[in-house]
Structure 1
């Protein structure tokens, strides 16, 4: 390959690469009005399409939050409310909101190992899919920020999320991540619930930061 050809190939690859969006937490705070009605109320419970506590997102990895919003926008994640919201957001909006929520709850990092050991049965379930290999031994330090922190997340939400990876051909429910689908489909619903309850019981870095709906 000549230098000219190599240079052209590099330029072509750079032009084809997704744009890098500069994140602004301050801008994200101004755009979060549509989020705080659910994610800014501690213990707030969704009732459609399934009943569960709305996930805590303050302190979550920003890269993961932006990716999740993009997945809702593309339809890879199905949830009528979240899809409608995501479709109204630009890539810049998603980057700003992600930066805001990542930095909203500053807490001390949790211990490297969970203080509570799982039961032998749950330990075997977690080992089966090697959950710690991606989400970290304490389930709060993923190997990459595009993966979520899950320790201490609401157990009923974790269960619904895991179940969604098993769901196909449903207009309102489902998640299209092939890796997670392969993991989740190994388990019965009862087993998913057991894992969710254990992970949700752990100390974590996720929070719901109360905010007024009117600001």
Structure 2
């Protein structure tokens, strides 16, 4: 087993362990709805754009996997994901808060009986297919990019293209105190590609059917 696969295996075991620990805290969606005041100002407005580290639409989180939301918030809290605003927000949350918010957004806007096709109805171009094969995206995120093999991994099908592009570039960024994401699996994958290739991947992944959405807020608290 080479060094890369050894690292990937170790990170995967760590993710499974973290996922198991997260199961010990049960999230309450109703409680989460009362705790999302810091979330709705960005994630509850269609077309809302962030300006750091560049302009891009903030990610859709309604319909995202609850365990992934918890994992991402913990990564911001620990500084493994370097985003000053998100780190401050995550640092203010207890484990129970994270579980409640995750339960809320995991079910937010989900339509009973609706299902994403098992494979994307839109086929990639040969160039993009080669990139998908090289990145092996489906092995973690599912053949339709909305059925991750571990619930601590994100659904990425239909996510905003500009957000996906910024996120993928962040895995390539090193030695920057405010920008970057520390993940051995994603870092190893993203560093194989030029930014132009990452943009092609992001554009295609954004174009397929997915479960993610923005549910506009009727009012702000």
The equivalent position to 1:180 in structure 2, one of 186, 205, 212, is 186
Q: Which runs of 5+ in 1 are unaligned?
A: 1-16
Structure 1 residues 113 and 18: alpha-carbon distance in aligned structure 2, compared to 1, 3 A threshold: closer
Task: Give the equivalent residue in structure 2 for 1:152.
Answer: 158
Task: Give the equivalent residue in structure 2 for 1:125.
Answer: 131
Q: Distance in 1 between matches of 2:209 and 2:220?
A: 31
Q: 1:150·1:200 contact (CA, 8 Å) conserved in 2?
A: yes
The reply to whether residue 79 of structure 1 matches residue 92 of structure 2 is no
Structure 1 residues 100 and 181: alpha-carbon distance in aligned structure 2, compared to 1, 3 A threshold: same
Q: Deviations over 1:154-191 (max 9, x none)?
A: 00000000000000011111000111000000000000
Task: Give the equivalent residue in structure 1 for 2:211.
Answer: 205
Q: 1:132·1:138 contact (CA, 8 Å) conserved in 2?
A: yes
Q: Distance in 1 between matches of 2:33 and 2:150?
A: 25
**Cα displacement (A) at 1:214:** 2.3
Q: Which runs of 5+ in 2 are unaligned?
A: 1-19
**Cα displacement (A) at 1:36:** 0.1
The alignment's TM-score, normalised by the length of structure 1, stands at 0.90
Extract structure 1 runs of 4+ deviating beyond 4 A. Answer: none
Query: Secondary structure of the equivalent of 1:31?
Result: coil
Q: For the aligned residues, what is the CA RMSD?
A: 1.2
How many positions carry a matched residue from both structures?
A: 199
The equivalent position to 2:33 in structure 1, one of 29, 36, 54, is 29
Task: Give the equivalent residue in structure 2 for 1:109.
Answer: 115
Q: 1:33·1:213 contact (CA, 8 Å) conserved in 2?
A: no
Q: Distance in 2 between matches of 1:147 and 1:49?
A: 23
Q: 1:37·1:213 contact (CA, 8 Å) conserved in 2?
A: no
The alignment's TM-score, normalised by the length of structure 2, stands at 0.88
**Cα displacement (A) at 1:213:** 4.8
Q: 2:40·2:220 contact (CA, 8 Å) conserved in 1?
A: no
**Cα displacement (A) at 1:22:** 1.4
Q: Distance in 2 between matches of 1:53 and 1:178?
A: 25
**Cα displacement (A) at 1:18:** 4.3
Task: Give the equivalent residue in structure 2 for 1:190.
Answer: 196
